[in-house]
Amino acid sequence: MAADLHRFIEAQDPVYAQVREELVQGQKRTHWMWFIFPQIAGLGQSTISRRYAIEGLSEAASYLNHPLLGARLLETTQLMLGWARRRSAAAILGGVDALKFCSSMALFEIAALSAGRDADPFGHALDAFCQGRRDDRTRQILQLGPDARPT
């Protein structure tokens, strides 16, 4: 089944410039977390979180490999990394969205490693903002053990 990634583009296009501005300033002020830093399906229960949930490793890899979505994910991750050692994810995104960010970074680190792609930006974000922890629920949903690393 082909990934339906168009839903992300439709959601991102009208707000992406604002997202960039907020991340450059280090303060999220509007609502975009679900479709900028998506999580694996099964974590969020709201209608919007279910709409923008990534259905599995295949869809995560498709998102990462998409020329626009993958580039935006890397750019927004790098913008977050610009705040490493200066501000926490909670200070930038808010407490709940900081947890979502860590789940998203864990998902895309696994997807990148599984696809043989560079996972460093996601790993660096996990180290900088998530105390190096790889989200256990994301790993469980993907059926990875706590110490398993995809090859």
- pLDDT, one tens digit per residue, over 94-150 is 999 999 999 999 999 999 999 999 999 999 999 999 999 998 999 999 986 554 445
Predicted pLDDT of residue 1: 38
Q: What are the pLDDT digits (tens) for 21-78?
A: 999 999 999 999 999 999 999 998 999 999 999 999 999 999 999 999 999 999 999 9
**What is the rounded CA–CA span in Å between residue 63 and residue 38?**
10
**What is the rounded CA–CA span in Å between residue 41 and residue 28?**
23
Instruction: For the chain, list the domains and their CATH numbers.
Output: 6-141 (1.25.40.380)
- What integer is the mean pLDDT of 6-16? 98
Element counts in the chain: helices (H) and strands (E): 10, 0
- Determine contact, residues 5/62, Cβ cutoff 8 Å: yes
- Determine contact, residues 61/116, Cβ cutoff 8 Å: no
